Structure 1
Amino acid sequence: MTDPLCQFSRSFPDLAASILHRDRHKRRNFREETITDILIAGLTAFEPFGVRVDFPADESKTGDDMDWEFVAPRATNGRRYLRLHIQAKRAIFKQRTRKPSYWLYEQLDHEAQLHAGYGSQAERLINSARAQPCCVPLYMFYHTLGGLQPSGSGLPAIEGVNAIFADLLRPLLTANPPARGNSGWSVDDKKVEKWRPHFMPLSDLLCFGGIAALPVSSNDGRVAFLVRWMNGLISPGMLADRLNARKRRSIAETELVDTASIEAVEQIPQATLRAIETPGAGRGGAEIERPRAIFLSGDGG
């Protein structure tokens, strides 16, 4: 049997693709923020299972990026905490009449601030994550129905939601460093097909648990079954192992990725512990930089 969060991780990409498909032929498009907001809002349904969702007190800080924290306070192996800093980008379709059309992430080289230079957002994402222990920078890509493709020819599926390691963009930052007056990245650098070999499905980040039917004996000798969601399996240590396996695969395919290992650490930030100890405290607005989801593991890490 599949746990509810795992089911969500496999169904939400289709929902995201359908929502983005609705804006075709319209002057106003749904942006990354729309899908990110819906994704974060969807995770609130899992608060009874140990997920905590907080939003910044300053609404201007909400946008197309978010933090996911995986926490196992009772882990005895030292792997109690891992954080994902996620930046979202949506793909758009470029229709051409005389040449092949294509999908691309038009804002992949976005400026973080005015005159900061093309690609400065990616630079800040990677550098800020590297400055903090156990923080993994990821890009989460959103695709509409017209751009979806099944896996094949050794390539992962293009789904409504896919993720890649942000470190993959580092060579672009080196070759084309963010600077005022920079002309931006090439179209080829922003095409979906360039990044597809490194796609991870949303389920790689959220699908860990399972539903167990545990036998329980009654006083009259009959045996009943207690259904329990094994949320203890959503642990920072297991996620780190999975991400490392994915990263090794990317390294085998290209030399673009930093070979540093992803490690869950023992120290849990005090702000995160406060959020866990006081469920719902952040719903009215927390002192955080961006929307945050905390995935609490009830067992070891």
Structure 2
Amino acid sequence: MSAARAASVCEKGDGLPIAPVFTSPCDLASRLPAMIAEFLDVEKHLKRRFREDSITDILIASLLSLPGNDVVVQTPSEAKTGGDFDLVIVAPASEDAVQFRVQAKRLTPHANDWTTGSYVELSHPHNSGIQSRLLVSGVGRESLPTIPLYAFYNPAHVCAASGDTVTGIELASGWEIRERVKAMVKIKPKRLPYKRIGSLQPLFFPLSTILCPPRPVGAPAIPLPTEVRSAVEEAIEMRSALAGFGQTLRILAPPQVQSLAGPDGGRRRRSDAVPRDLRARQLPAIIRTAIERRDERIVPARVKRPRVILIAEDNPSET
């Protein structure tokens, strides 16, 4: 099922909706990963393998099912390579936005040791790593500030075996994963363990980092771009240091993200975590059009991959 079809089923109610209805982004971030994990476990009984596209369709349709009219999905006429979907958080009043380019991978579990389960297509195609290169190479040319991410989908029995330290949906920095893919492509024979969940787990952070970052009590359901961007940057920076691979946002990111580091190479103060050149100074016309047509929910557009837009309320005097 395509993302557009999944969203259409959810919106029109023609038959059983594939996406459950969540009360808020925080509710979705809390409950959907476990549902995805259970869904992936079903394939053991069906004797078939669910592709990443199937899980991504559920995720997109679930976002579209959020109450209100603050979610718009732009659908492409033809899918192209480089990322499975884009997720944009936008605040129209301040014209601020942040975009996440997401590439999805699903786990092939190991029969006995959950840590040696592998994301076998991580260096797709044919262990060349071209897909990961495409994911990160274009973000600096985007009209919106863009952070590349991987979404890793994991079945429930693996989550249980991990002691629930792994969930059904885990996110990781696209820059960090790219560095590991580059190392795998270079080494022959391929003996590096970077496709294994046990090796990549130190980079994981939850879906709630984007959909439910820390914010004031009583704030609107959709978080502000500044809140989301700061939470994701902090998650990447912290996990980059813990993973022991020696890569950080300052080293890996395009020039506009390198300014997150201070002159001594250290992390800027929290209040400076979103420098001015990382803000969207003016929203692109394609985003403005989506906001204007938000009541339609699903909008065909000249995009290379499905784009989910979450529209946040803000006060321009406070930004």
* Normalised TM-score (structure 1): 0.78
Q: Percent identity?
A: 26
Q: Which has the higher helix share?
A: 2
State how 1:188-199 maps to structure 2 within 5 Å.
188-199=193-204
Distance 1:169 1:5 in 2: 26
Distance 1:45 1:281 in 2: 13
Residues 157 and 269 (structure 1 numbering): CA distance in 2 closer, same or farther, change over 3 Å?
A: farther
**Could you tell me which residue of structure 1 aligns to residue 101 of structure 2?**
85
RMSD of aligned alpha carbons: 3.1
Deviation digits for residues 9-43 of structure 1 (CA, Å, limit 9, x no counterpart): 11000110111100015442111100100110111
1:285 to partner: Cα distance: 2.9
**Could you tell me which residue of structure 1 aligns to residue 291 of structure 2?**
276
**Could you tell me which residue of structure 1 aligns to residue 263 of structure 2?**
none
**Could you tell me which residue of structure 2 aligns to residue 146 of structure 1?**
157
**Could you tell me which residue of structure 1 aligns to residue 110 of structure 2?**
94
1:4 to partner: Cα distance: 1.7
Larger Rg: 1
Q: Which has the higher strand share?
A: 1
1:282 to partner: Cα distance: 6.9
- Secondary structure of the residue aligned to 2:249 is coil
Distance 1:70 1:94 in 2: 36
1:95 to partner: Cα distance: 3.0
Distance 1:63 1:281 in 2: 27
Instruction: Return the letter of the residue paired with 2:132.
Output: A
Distance 2:81 2:295 in 1: 18
1:136 to partner: Cα distance: 0.3
User: Does the CA contact (< 8 Å) of 2:171 and 2:205 recur in 1?
Assistant: yes
1:172 to partner: Cα distance: 3.1
1:123 aligned to which of 117, 127, 133: 133
Give yes or no for the alignment of 1:200 onto 2:205.
yes
Deviation digits for residues 146-182 of structure 1 (CA, Å, limit 9, x no counterpart): 1105988xxx92000010001112333543558xxx9
1:164 aligned to which of 172, 182, 200: 172
* Normalised TM-score (structure 2): 0.74
Q: Which has the higher contact order (CA 8 A, sep 6+)?
A: 1
Aligned length: 267
State how 1:1-301 maps to structure 2 within 5 Å.
4-46=24-66, 48-58=68-78, 60-61=79-80, 65-75=84-94, 80-95=96-111, 102-111=116-125, 118-132=128-142, 134-149=145-160, 157-176=165-184, 185-186=190-191, 188-208=193-213, 212=218, 230-231=220-221, 234-253=223-242, 254=244, 255-259=246-250, 260=258, 261=260, 263-280=278-295, 283=298, 285-300=300-315
Instruction: Return the letter of the residue paired with 1:207.
Output: C
- Secondary structure of the residue aligned to 2:109 is strand
Instruction: Return the letter of the residue paired with 2:116.
Output: Y
Distance 1:54 1:80 in 2: 19
Deviation digits for residues 226-264 of structure 1 (CA, Å, limit 9, x no counterpart): xxx713x61111111112211221242231233133733
Which stretch shows the higher mean deviation, 182-191 or 133-142? 182-191
Gaps of 5+ in 2: 1-21, 251-257, 261-273
User: Does the CA contact (< 8 Å) of 1:67 and 1:84 recur in 2?
Assistant: yes
User: Does the CA contact (< 8 Å) of 2:107 and 2:152 recur in 1?
Assistant: yes
Residues 64 and 131 (structure 1 numbering): CA distance in 2 closer, same or farther, change over 3 Å?
A: closer
- Secondary structure of the residue aligned to 1:139 is strand
User: Does the CA contact (< 8 Å) of 1:109 and 1:185 recur in 2?
Assistant: no
Gaps of 5+ in 1: 213-228
